[in-house]
Amino acid sequence: MTIKEMATALRKGDLSTSEITRAFLQNIEKLEPTVGSYITVTEDNALAMAKKADRRLKEGDDPGLLAGIPAALKDNIATAGIRTTNASRMLEHFVPAYDAYAVTLLRGSGAVFLGKTNMDEFAMGDSSEASAFHATHNPYDTTRVPGGSSGGSAAAVAAGEAVYALGTDTGGSICQPAAYCGLVGMRPTYGLVSRRGVTAYASSFDQTGPMTRTVRDNAAVLDAIAVRDPKDGMAARFAPIPEGGYVGAIEDTFGNPVIGYVEEFSNGLNPAVRDAIERALQFYSSAGARVVPLSFPHLQEALAAYYLLTSAEGYSAINRYDGIHYGYRSADAETVDDIYIRSRSDALGLEVKSRVLLGSYLLSKENYDTYYEKAARIRTLVIQTFNTLFNACDAILAPVTIGPAPLLGARGDESLNGQYSSDRFTVLAPLAGLPALAFPCGLTEEGLPLGLQLIGPRFSEGRLYMLAATYEDAHERLPRPRIFHELRNGK
């Protein structure tokens, strides 16, 4: 069921929020040993929220479409009274005293929170294997990764362990797992959704966004969380929200949009992804769009700049976890220096350590001009390139990944360059602060999901939703993964 279908059933009295919530909790209980979407399942809290939502709806206090709809939250999004670990031993027992602003907004919308989802530690990774607790498995093939760093959120929605989930995106951490798990994932324009209460990785890149099974569900969640936060200094002051919200924008007339495709994107793609792009471009052309070729000549430089800049910002963010203020403290330390060194050595994983070391190197006096300054100039060049491209088109259709989800453990067999090169399509929008919407475009012969993304100018989320919904409405929805049906059939 979609969010709208579920909301209609709740208001007709055909279902209750408590019934729906118990059903999802049962799914979680049966599937978690196989999928591993969650770090913390908040059963008692979820049932209490469901009971409250039922009471509000019965009394005629209807807070909106998301009332009573069960959701999951990535574990770097603060939740008052519920531990928020960031998938790290450093924060294994950390319980925030307040909610992230997006969580506050969802509470006001009557949402029901099922728990906190697994992720790559401190959001530094792209497979959800770099968690201090366990790896998450792709529901479509449990020998494969769900993507990352929001892989737990993606797997939960794909497996039927939540109706929707919030993820965070620094350089593709919503769009990439959405593509691998057959979902719709929105990385909003930088500043559209508040960052307050979300653990920082790279603050000039980080954004929170929804992960859902349909475009309209995704728009409904963004409608709830795209509210300006006066306490977030980087919040957009005048974000042009479409009249009727993002759900309403989907019903806008398709017209004759101009959709661009960057020819360099085709290099090195899996044939199944290349075919999916060609079919999508043909579809949009037949629907009335004009498709234009574009060029983005510095893809590799953009990827390098992304990793240099985020590693530098990540180094600054991780410095606060020192074993003194809060978080894990080594019991073997005797001096202050020992506390710093042992606590961080014991509690931080290899991926985090490698990025912190790179960031420290980049920000040193000897290397700042050579690397960091050059990376910042490349970021400016990426922004200028997008500005030029959007003078020629309304949106850009792009791959999300070079192929379907890789096998668990495969990343460790690649060279360092190979490990990060698969992110070359998802780092572009974050470098420029632009919105990107990933949506499913079919399955491979092996039954693995494939995804595409639409990138637009700042605050063009409404148009991206309309374009993606037009594609979605004309194609069959991806089937649920096999394990979902096995669960329903009692296997």
Distances (CA, A) of 466 to 140, 243, 249: 27, 14, 6
Among the listed residues 37, 88, 149, 460, the single catalytic one is 149
Neighbour tally for 254: CB within 10 Å = 13
| Burial (0-12, 13-18, 19+ Cβ within 10 Å), 287 | middle
Residue 295 appears among annotated catalytic residues:
no
| Burial (0-12, 13-18, 19+ Cβ within 10 Å), 258 | middle
Among the listed residues 37, 74, 153, 311, the single catalytic one is 74
Residue 153 appears among annotated catalytic residues:
no
Distance between CA atoms of residues 250 and 252, nearest Å: 6
Distances (CA, A) of 412 to 170, 175, 331: 22, 22, 32
**Dihedral over Cα of 332, 337, 342, 343: its sign:** positive
**Dihedral over Cα of 206, 140, 282, 285: its sign:** negative
Distance between CA atoms of residues 291 and 277, nearest Å: 12
For residue 150, is the peptide bond before it cis, meaning its omega torsion is within 30 degrees of 0?
no
Place of tokens 């043909």: 282
Distance between CA atoms of residues 172 and 427, nearest Å: 6
Cα angle 464-466-467, degrees, rounded to a multiple of 5: 65
The DSSP element (H or E) to which 75 belongs, if any, is none
Quick check: 269 and 237 in contact, CB under 8 A?
no
Phi then psi for residue 405, to 5 deg, are -60, 130
Residue 360 appears among annotated catalytic residues:
no
Q: Is 360 helix (H, G, I), strand (E, B) or coil?
A: helix
Distance between CA atoms of residues 175 and 179, nearest Å: 6
Distances (CA, A) of 229 to 186, 225, 242: 19, 10, 18
Distance between CA atoms of residues 399 and 121, nearest Å: 26
Among the listed residues 16, 109, 128, 173, the single catalytic one is 173
Q: What is the DSSP string of 239-276?
A: --PPTTHHHHHTTS-----EEEEEGGGGTT--HHHHHH
β-bridge pairing 290-294 and 258-262: parallel
Cβ neighbours of residue 307 closer than 8 Å, sequence gap 6 or more: 358, 420
- DSSP H helical ranges for 74-232: 101-108, 151-158, 175-180, 215-225
**Dihedral over Cα of 26, 32, 34, 35: its sign:** positive
The residues that are catalytic are: 74, 149, 173
